[in-house]
Structure 1
Amino acid sequence: MKQEKRHFDRAFKVMAVELCLLGKPTNQVAEELDIRADLLSRWKREYKQKREGSFSGYGKPSLTPEQAEVAKLKKQLREVEIERDILKKAAAVAR
C-alpha cells in the first residue's frame, strides 16, 4: 500500500517552525503535528535562511522586486545578444 503524499501550506509550515523557535523541542512539535522531525528540521533551516521568501512552493523562489528586475533585465540582455548574433551572421553571409 502506497502512502499518499501530504502537502502543507505556508501558514502551517511557518506556525510549526515558530513553535520550535519559541523553545519547544523539534521532536515534540513534529509528534504533535503528526509530521516527521527531519521534515520540520528542513523547514526550520529554510525559514532561517530566507525568512519571508521561504516556502514559496513548487520550487519557485520568491524574488524581491530588485531580484525580479535583475532577472527581467538578464532575460532581455540574452534576447538582444541572440538578435545581434543573428544580424552578424546575416551580414557575413551578405558580403
Structure 2
Amino acid sequence: MGTRKTYSAEFKRQAVQLATQPDHTVDEIARDLGIGRSTLSNWIRMAREHGELAFPGKGKARLTPEQEELKRLRKENELLRQERDILKSAAVCLGQNSTRMGLARWFAKHSK
C-alpha cells in the first residue's frame, strides 16, 4: 500500500478556483492536476460549505463557533441520554426488588 498524497491548502484553493470557472470542466482540471475527479469534487463541496474556513491544512475543516457549540451540545445530549437510560434500568431493578421485599423494608434497609 502506498503513502497517501497530501496537498497544501493553497493548491486546493487554486484547484477549486480553476474548476469553478466556466471555460473548463471538473474532469479536465482534475486530469490536468493529476488528481481524482472525486477528490476535486470533495474540495469544491468543502469550499462551498466552509468558505474561508475550508482547508485548514492537516485535519478537517475548522468549525464556526456555532458549529462548535452544536457539536458540544450534541455530545452533552448523548451523555445525558446514556445517563437517563442507566437510571431507567436501575429504577426497574429497584422496582423488582422492592416488590419482593416490601417497599417499606427496602427503604429502611437502604436509607442508612
TM-score, normalised via structure 2 length: 0.54
> Is the Cα–Cα contact under 8 Å of residues 16 and 40 in structure 1 kept in the other structure?
no
- 1:20-51 deviation line (CA, Å, top 9, x unaligned): 556764647964xx424836852445434542
Could you say which structure has the larger radius of gyration? 2
Task: With a CA cutoff of 8 Å and minimum separation of 6, indicate the structure with the bigger relative contact order.
Answer: 1
Whether 1:9 aligns to 2:8 is yes
> How far apart are the structure 1 equivalents of 2:93 and 2:86?
11
Deviates more, 1:81-90 or 1:40-49: 40-49
Query: What amino acid does structure 1 have at the position aligned with 2:75?
Result: K
Whether 1:67 aligns to 2:78 is no
RMSD: 3.3
Whether 1:35 aligns to 2:26 is no
Is the alpha carbon distance of 1:91 and 1:48 closer, same or farther for their aligned partners in structure 2, counting shifts above 3 Å? closer
Indicate the percent of aligned positions where both proteins have the same amino acid: 30
1:93 maps to which residue? Answer: 93
| Unmatched 5+ stretches in structure 2 | 99-112
Q: Secondary structure of the residue that 2:68 maps to in structure 1?
A: helix
Is the alpha carbon distance of 1:3 and 1:24 closer, same or farther for their aligned partners in structure 2, counting shifts above 3 Å? farther
> How far apart are the structure 1 equivalents of 2:15 and 2:35?
12
Q: How does 1:38-57 map to 2 (within 5 A)?
A: 38=37, 42=41, 43-44=43-44, 46-55=46-55
Matched residue count: 91
State the 1:7 CA deviation: 1.9
> Is the Cα–Cα contact under 8 Å of residues 10 and 55 in structure 1 kept in the other structure?
yes
Query: What amino acid does structure 1 have at the position aligned with 2:9?
Result: R
| Unmatched 5+ stretches in structure 1 | none
